Amino acid sequence: MKTIPLILMGCGGVGCHLLQHIVSCRSLHSSQGLCLNVLGVSDSKSLVVTEDSSNKGLDDKFLMELCRVKRDGGSLSKLGDLGDCRLFSHPELQERILELASQLGGKTGLVFVDCSASSNTVAVLKQVVDMGCCIVMANKKPLTSTMEDFEKLYAYPRRIRHESTVGAGLPVIASLNRIISSGDPVHRIIGSLSGTLGYVMSEVEDGKPLSQVVRAAKSLGYTEPDPREDLGGMDVARKALILARILGQRINMDTIQIESLYPKEMGPDLMSVEDFMNSGLPLLDKDIQERVEKAASNGNVLRYVCVIEGSSCEVGIQELPKNSPLGRLRGSDNVLEIYTRCYTSQPLVIQGAGAGNDTTAAGVLADIVDIQDLFP
């Protein structure tokens, strides 16, 4: 039986679903000769870590209790019976993590799993890669800060996986890496990588006013509490930046042209969410409607996409043929068209749900299992 030790950073929606998947896959993994061993879990304030000298992981009952506390909005420090574990806070927390990394990194490839939504994890991640640890991320922020950070995290490309940073559990990064390592040049990637904006653009195509569509999306829970976080395009731009960097573009966030669906005057610092929903949004209806009609008269539809081609990376609305994978998109699926030498006139198409705790956590779990083939 091969043991895969890991430390989970972040136990919100995705992190807790990951722990549930790990527990419910016990017998599946054991039939594959694997055993996932969760040595520690952290949230924004604390780290609980096993203190057993043989590094026996946290037991399943404890992990499920931990998820219950986090789901109820509590902090890890609220955990009652710690059993064999200890709780650390800053700054001892970092010391303990680095101690474990240096102890186990080279020997076992100890996996650091970043399911936080924070840019603070990058400091630890950069240190542990040098100690022989592997890193798996759902968090986009460490890969979208400076180019130096990106290159540091990618210093050992076989020890990093981050499938869930783009398209959640969809095999986007894995497919791209296979294409790249086979020497097939990627000419162009165009993708709808926001479930929210995919839904919005396909609904306005049917002639519904933008304001009505965004209101419906918000009440369906498709948007962030402030829908401007989706409409501004930043999240799509982060995913685009990760893809562009994988293709070798040495660019930063501020190099990317991002089209926001609302003007600066309606920004969060100038307008409340209520004002935006009730009086801001309706002012945008006419312009979008005219663009939809103009596209339709050319046999096209509008999609909010990222386009990565040559040395450019753009994020915004594009007119696309109605009869294409992106043109046919309805609802909240993500769709990615990849054009390469092998996929020239017909692209490789990857489509499916691009968000959700369950599928994102499944992508993270598959990464953890996959990366361990390095350690016989």
Ligand X SMILES: NC(=O)c1ccc[n+]([C@@H]2O[C@H](COP(=O)([O-])OP(=O)(O)OC[C@H]3O[C@@H](n4cnc5c(N)ncnc54)[C@H](OP(=O)(O)O)[C@@H]3O)[C@@H](O)[C@H]2O)c1
- Decide which of ligand X, ligand NAG, none touches 11; Cβ closer than 5 to 8 Å per partner kind: ligand X
Report the residue number, 174 or 283, with the smaller CB distance to ligand X.
Answer: 174
249 binds ligand NAG (CB under 6 A): no
- Tally Cβ neighbours within 10 Å of residue 123: 11
Least Cα distance to 162 among 100, 105, 115, 97 occurs for: 115
Residue 105 Cβ vs ligand NAG, minimum distance, rounded to whole Å: 31
Residue 69 Cβ vs ligand NAG, minimum distance, rounded to whole Å: 12
- Tally Cβ neighbours within 10 Å of residue 371: 19
Q: Is 152 a catalytic residue?
A: no
Cα-based distances in Å from 160 to 7, 229, 342, 369 = 14, 28, 26, 12
Phi, psi of 184 (to 5 degrees): -85, 110
- Decide which of ligand X, ligand NAG, none touches 71; Cβ closer than 5 to 8 Å per partner kind: ligand NAG
* Residues 6 or more apart in contact with residue 246 via CB below 8 angstroms: 173, 176, 177, 180
26, 61, 68, 71: which one binds ligand NAG (CB under 6 A): 71
Among 70, 141, 218, 239, the active-site one is: 239
2 is in an annotated binding site: no
357 binds ligand NAG (CB under 6 A): yes
Which single residue brings its beta carbon nearest to ligand NAG?
Answer: 13
- Interface size with ligand NAG, residues (CB under 6 A): 5
Report the residue number, 13 or 267, with the smaller CB distance to ligand NAG.
Answer: 13
Q: Which residues of 25-37 are buried (b: 16+ CB within 10 A; e: fewer)?
A: beeebeeeebebb
- Decide which of ligand NAG, ligand X, none touches 164; Cβ closer than 5 to 8 Å per partner kind: ligand X
134 is in an annotated binding site: no
CA 366 – CA 28 distance, rounded (Å): 13
152, 356, 369, 375: which one binds ligand NAG (CB under 6 A): 356
- Decide which of ligand NAG, ligand X, none touches 360; Cβ closer than 5 to 8 Å per partner kind: ligand X
Q: Give the residues lining the site for ligand X (CB under 6 A).
A: 9-15, 42-45, 75, 115-118, 120-121, 138-140, 164, 168, 355-357, 360
13 is in an annotated binding site: yes
21 binds ligand NAG (CB under 6 A): no
290 is in an annotated binding site: no
DSSP symbols for 282-311: GGGHHHHHHHHHHHHHTTEEEEEEEEEETT
Residue 239 Cβ vs ligand NAG, minimum distance, rounded to whole Å: 18
DSSP symbols for 99-142: HHHHHHHHHH--EEEE----STTHHHHHHHHTTT-EEEES-SGG
Give the torsion sign (CA, 89, 92, 96, 98).
positive
DSSP reduced 3-state for 207: coil
224 binds ligand NAG (CB under 6 A): no
Q: Which amino acid is at 179?
A: I
Q: How many helices (H) and strands (E) does the chain have?
A: 14, 13
Binding site for ligand NAG (CB under 6 A): 13, 16, 71, 356-357
Which residues carry a binding-site annotation? 10-15, 140, 224
Residue set of the binding site for L-homoserine: 224
Q: Which residues are annotated as a binding site for NADPH?
A: 140
For the annotated catalytic residues, the residue numbers are: 239
